[in-house]
Amino acid sequence: MIECNYSKTENWKGRLIEMSNSAKQRSFIRDLIKHLEEIGLKVILEKSKNFILCIIYRDKKKKVAISCTPSNRAIAQLKALSDVKRTIAELDESIARAFNPQGVLQMMTNNGSSQNKNMDNEAIPEYESLRDTLTTTELDNSTIDDIIAAVKAAIESTDLSIGKDNGGSSIGNGGPAPNGITVLTPDGNFPAQCSRIVTVYAREQKNRVRAYSLKKALEALINYYSHCLRITKLGVFVTDVWRPSELFAVETALDFYEAKGIRTIIILKSNANLHLLNFPWR
């Protein structure tokens, strides 16, 4: 058993300030520890030349060294997160599946840069890049077209200038549109009719205009599946925040509806970038 030098996790915030005078370093480590705690792990931050995290799950402990200061910070951070994932896998494979290095890094980018607050509204989403990613999966071209259309409808649903007629998609309390897409929004009633495709957009609070919180978006999607089980075939969940713990809360429901023929796709939006994410338990 690997011993850790500290017995309490509550002290890591104070030690973090002592260990680094770099705000970016502290922010990266702080967000990483918070995320690890959120997916059910305990973390002890040890004092060293590098950051040493002691990650604890039940009666198991593993250490991982973190270095995120080379010239290419983004590459170094992604490598560090990949090292953390491998360490978590030694503790528990199912929790390791919930830790998506790219998703975590994008979440940190969204939360940590004040510049991103403006960029997120101005940048045109890279739909063709997402299409390129989807073509590497087992999805057929028709389903890929449906996913792209649903992502576009979800993102555009938060644009107040577009209104309720969103490029042929039904929003909030509308019926199924000609292209078979319903967009769920918090300012609309439950759709009067079901459609083949449903999409919903979850956003961080600072960006939440005509969009749900992550928890409420998942609840709305599951509720729609329940009412439209015989008709809906595809659900596209778009989000700019990645918290696997909230996805685990609906794991049973999503797997149930998947078995009934409703495929759910998760897309993480970070500025203009659109990333296809896997379910953490698959």
Instruction: Say if 4 falls within a structural domain.
Output: no
pLDDT score, position 260: 95
Could you list the residue range(s) of the whole structural domain that residue 35 is in? 12-99
Calculate what percentage of the chain has a pLDDT beyond 90.
Answer: 28
pLDDT tens digits, 182-200 = 999 887 666 668 899 999 9
- Six-digit token string for 104: 């975590």
Question: How many structural domains comprise the chain?
Answer: 2
pLDDT tens digits, 109-144 = 666 554 444 444 456 888 998 999 899 889 999 999
pLDDT tens digits, 67-111 = 755 545 778 888 888 999 999 999 888 778 778 787 788 777 666
Closest CA to 274 of 116, 151, 166, 185: 151
Instruction: Say if 104 falls within a structural domain.
Output: no
Instruction: Say if 106 falls within a structural domain.
Output: no
Claim to verify: residue 128 and residue 180 sit in the same structural domain: yes
Domain stop point among 47, 69, 99: 99
- Contact in structure between 204 and 110 (CB atoms under 8 Å): yes
pLDDT tens digits, 158-170 = 765 444 434 344 4
pLDDT score, position 268: 86
- Six-digit token string for 228: 């439209």
Gap between the Cα atoms of 166 and 155, Å rounded: 10
- Classified as helix, coil or strand, 107 is helix
Claim to verify: residue 76 and residue 128 sit in the same structural domain: no
Gap between the Cα atoms of 28 and 108, Å rounded: 7
pLDDT tens digits, 6-19 = 444 445 555 554 55
Sort 4 into a burial class: Cβ within 10 Å, 0-12 / 13-18 / 19+: buried
Instruction: Say if 20 falls within a structural domain.
Output: yes
Stated as kind and residue range, the H or E segment containing 153 is: helix 141-156
- Is residue 266's pLDDT more than 70? yes
2: confidence class by pLDDT, cuts 50, 70, 90? very low
Instruction: Say if 32 falls within a structural domain.
Output: yes
Amino acid at 189: N
Strand partners, 270: 273
Instruction: Say if 282 falls within a structural domain.
Output: no
- Contact in structure between 53 and 86 (CB atoms under 8 Å): no
Instruction: Say if 50 falls within a structural domain.
Output: yes
Claim to verify: residue 208 and residue 246 sit in the same structural domain: yes
Instruction: Say if 1 falls within a structural domain.
Output: no
Domain stop point among 67, 99, 131: 99
pLDDT score, position 224: 94
Claim to verify: residue 78 and residue 126 sit in the same structural domain: no
Claim to verify: residue 134 and residue 271 sit in the same structural domain: yes
Stated as kind and residue range, the H or E segment containing 108 is: helix 101-112
Claim to verify: residue 234 and residue 200 sit in the same structural domain: yes
pLDDT tens digits, 199-245 = 999 987 665 667 888 899 999 999 999 999 999 999 999 988 877 77
State the pTM of this model. 0.62
End-to-end CA distance of the chain: 29
pLDDT tens digits, 32-71 = 888 888 777 888 887 656 688 899 988 889 998 887 555 4
pLDDT score, position 20: 53
pLDDT score, position 229: 93
